[in-house]
């Protein structure tokens, strides 16, 4: 029996010719990631275990992105603790201050993630890098500590679901709408500890930013990882951003999948996830009928804070004003994206429209910093989770949507089809 893309990477990194679902393997890591919330715990475990050195200072990334710029004394102390560890061990890829970006946007941008990599990160959305044909997954801080010390981690080889994609998106429909549609169809545990493998001719009609968004939210369906079949668009991205050697992996023709789901992108509409689960989805036509009054809009995060996301929102907001009773936050995901948005006039469009422009940060996504919701408030957000209390008060509500829907909703004050405001 053949292997899936994920199984091939795990076999290669563990030194086996082949692996099967359910097997336990120990793989050699290409990158270990931590942030300002999870790294302090990992560092304490690293020290408690008596480790003296990291396995490779070039294969660890520490990104201070969640509560930064430091929101309070505790977050300042957390960042100081990580900063001192990074200096002691001469960690090459340490990002903070004006050099920091949202971790899952900045690492591909810096060329640290390439096809065939085996990546773990103490953040659940580490599955983002599967957009680049890597096997990447979130782990706990203790596993991060061991990974930093040994360069290895244990894995149970996952089963896989194949998503066979054809067609192309309609106007204002994007990767965010596709992954919300999928989660709505299969549920938040529909891919529990399985690899979500994206194949088919329709992939080549997606941008890399679409793919990053889709892989990022594999975890919202319970997936162990999300991974894309390589194509020319992906390889051009890798060549533009990285000088690392890499190996691409295609699924075997006789690879075994738990099931195959076929999707025609042209059938999809803009999709919104209502509180309090990413699976509680409605298409935009249903969503509009609910007349959801909006108090805040957030456009950013590791899911939708890239340049194409900002450009889509700016195209809708240009020459218009957001409602005065809708706080609209724009959060470019990295300094490079911020600079490009500045040079191309996007930030001016946002400011003229009455938006608030933030430095790169995770910010309100996890209810951590800026943009916190009060009791009874509702937010349309391009982030990836809408659990109870995710963005503030337990009696607030978060509606997940694409940048296009978020921008349109900022103009009207209600969840709105972007086609209606253009």
Average pLDDT, the chain: 96
pLDDT at 1: 78
Tell which residue, 38, 85, 107, has the closest CA to residue 368: 38
Q: Give 282's strand partners.
A: 272
The predicted-structure confidence for 303-346, as pLDDT tens digits, reads as follows 999 999 999 999 999 999 999 999 999 999 999 999 999 999 99
- Among candidate residues 154, 95, 108, the one with its CA nearest the CA of residue 134: 108
d(CA 7, CA 251): 9
> Taking the CB of residue 243, how many other CB atoms lie within 10 A of it?
8
Q: Are 135 and 10 in contact (CB under 8 A)?
A: yes
- pLDDT, residue 151, reads 98
Q: Is 84 exposed, middle or buried (0-12, 13-18, 19+ CB in 10 A)?
A: exposed
Q: Is 389 left (phi over 0), alpha (psi -120 to 50) or beta?
A: left
Number of residues written out for the chain: 422
% of the chain at pLDDT higher than 70: 100
Residue 164 has pLDDT above 90, yes or no: yes
Q: What is the pLDDT of residue 171?
A: 95
Tokens of 403: 């940048």
Query: How many CB atoms are located within 10 Å of the residue 109 CB?
Result: 19
**Planar angle of CA 104, 106, 108, nearest 5 degrees:** 80
Looking at residue 368, its pLDDT comes to: 85
Residue 48's region, left for phi above 0, alpha for psi from -120 to 50, else beta, is alpha
Per-residue pLDDT band for 74 (boundaries 50, 70, 90) equals: very high
Q: Which class for 324: exposed (0-12), middle (13-18), buried (19 or more C-beta within 10 A)?
A: exposed
- pLDDT (0 to 100) of residue 422: 84
Per-residue pLDDT reduced to its tens digit, 53-62: 999 999 999 9
Alpha-carbon separation of residue 422 from 168, 317, 415 (angstroms): 21, 9, 15
CB 148 within 8 A of CB 60: yes
Residue 384: pLDDT band with limits 50, 70, 90 = very high
Where does 219-258 show beta strands of DSSP type E? 225-228
Angstrom distance (rounded) from CA 32 to CA 136: 10
Confidence (pTM): 0.96
Q: Which residue intervals of 110-174 are DSSP H helices? A: 141-150
As to burial, measured by CB atoms within 10 angstroms (0-12 exposed, 13-18 middle, 19+ buried), residue 211 is buried
* Cis amide leading into 201 (omega within 30): no
pLDDT reading at 275 higher than 90:
yes
């Amino acid at each position: 029996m053949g292997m899936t893309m994920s199984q091939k990477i795990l076999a290669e990194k563990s030194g086996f010719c082949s692996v099967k679902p359910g097997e336990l393997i120990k793989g050699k890591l290409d990158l270990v990631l931590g942030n300002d919330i999870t790294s302090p715990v990992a560092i304490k475990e690293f020290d408690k275990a008596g480790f003296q050195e990291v396995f490779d200072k070039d294969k660890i990334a520490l990104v201070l992105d969640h509560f930064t710029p430091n929101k309070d004394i505790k977050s300042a102390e957390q960042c100081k603790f990580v900063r001192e560890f990074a200096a002691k061990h001469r960690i090459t890829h340490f990002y903070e201050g004006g050099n920091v970006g949202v971790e899952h946007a900045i690492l591909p941008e810096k060329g640290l993630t390439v096809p065939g990599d085996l990546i773990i990160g103490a953040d659940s959305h580490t599955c983002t890098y599967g957009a680049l044909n890597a096997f990447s997954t979130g782990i706990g801080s203790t596993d991060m500590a061991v990974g930093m010390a040994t360069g290895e981690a244990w894995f149970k080889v996952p089963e896989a679901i194949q998503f066979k994609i054809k067609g192309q998106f309609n106007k204002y429909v994007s990767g965010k709408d596709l992954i919300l549609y999928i989660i709505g169809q299969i549920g938040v545990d529909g891919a529990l500890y399985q690899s979500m493998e994206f194949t088919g001719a329709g992939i080549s009609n997606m941008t890399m930013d679409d793919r990053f968004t889709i892989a990022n939210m594999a975890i919202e369906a319970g997936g162990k990882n999300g991974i894309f079949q390589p194509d020319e668009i992906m390889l051009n991205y890798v060549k533009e951003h990285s000088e690392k050697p890499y190996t691409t992996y295609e699924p075997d023709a006789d690879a075994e999948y738990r099931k195959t789901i076929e999707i025609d992108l042209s059938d999809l509409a803009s999709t919104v996830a209502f509180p309090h689960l990413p699976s509680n989805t409605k298409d935009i036509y249903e969503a509009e009928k609910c007349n959801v009054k909006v108090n805040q809009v957030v456009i950013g995060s590791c899911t939708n804070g890239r340049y194409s996301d900002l450009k889509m929102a700016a195209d809708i907001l240009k020459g218009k004003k957001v409602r005065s009773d809708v706080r609209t936050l724009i959060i470019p995901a990295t300094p490079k994206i911020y600079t490009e948005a500045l040079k191309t006039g996007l930030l001016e469009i946002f400011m003229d429209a009455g938006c608030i422009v933030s430095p790169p940060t995770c910010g309100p996504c996890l209810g951590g910093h800026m943009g916190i919701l009060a009791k009874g408030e509702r937010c349309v957000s391009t982030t990836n989770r809408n659990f109870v209390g995710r963005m503030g008060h337990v009696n607030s509500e978060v509606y997940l949507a694409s940048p296009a829907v978020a921008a349109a909703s900022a103009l009207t004050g209600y969840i709105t089809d972007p086609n209606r405001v253009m």
